[in-house]
Amino acid sequence: MVRVGIIMGSQSDWPTMKEASVVLDELGVSWQANIVSAHRTPDRLWDYGKTAVDRGLQVIIAGAGGAAHLPGMMASKTRIPVIGVPVLTKALSGVDSLYSIVQMPKGYPVATMAIGAAGAANAGLMATAILALQDPALAARLDAWRAALSESIPQEPRDE
Ligand code: RP5
């Protein structure tokens, strides 16, 4: 069963959102990616949100750029935790995306990550951490992943 739904407003978001899927693959978490646009495919957004619980999704990672309404609209349609990823934009460097996603009204939170690829990767890690609360084997894999990252950081810088 798919545990994490990765959704994005456009095909052009995939190079960013793929970073979430890479992390989930590394940690052995099942995911499925779909294009669901708040503006271009609102009916698809509605159906996705309405059926998410019954389909067994446990976390939704939603990325969008510009007037990025997708994460917030999805949060309004399902109680499954939504992690928002602001996609980098040419015009405003993703600050437009960030502000659109992070400023949710009281009652419908979106856990908002950093702008761009790092935010997408962190969304994968955040989703894993949520799932690991009820999954000891996954918790062990996440601990090992984090330890390996720490281990990979050198003690001293070198000339490049
Ligand atoms: C948003 O508009 C998408 O999330 C994307 O980041 C942005 C631009 O979309 P395209 O014009 O590249 O399809 O809805």
% of the chain residues with pLDDT over 90: 99
Sign of the Cα torsion 24, 113, 79, 14 reads negative
- Chain centroid offset of residue 138 CA: 18
Residue nearest to atom 12 of ligand 1 (CA): 12
Residue nearest to atom 13 of ligand 1 (CA): 10
* CB-ligand 1 contact for 116 (6 Å cutoff): no
Q: Which amino acid is at 23?
A: V
pLDDT at residue 87 in the model: 98
pLDDT at residue 160 in the model: 87
pLDDT at residue 88 in the model: 98
Averaged pLDDT, 85-95? 98
pLDDT at residue 79 in the model: 98
100 Cα to the center of ligand 1, angstroms: 13
Q: What is the pLDDT of residues 123-153, one digit of tens each?
A: 999 999 999 999 999 999 999 999 999 999 9
pLDDT at residue 67 in the model: 98
**Among the residues of the chain, which ranges form H helices?**
14-27, 42-51, 70-77, 95-102, 117-132, 136-151
Residue in 120, 136, 96, 153 with CA at minimum distance from that of residue 31: 120
Averaged pLDDT, 58-82? 98
- Chain centroid offset of residue 149 CA: 20
147 Cα to the center of ligand 1, angstroms: 36
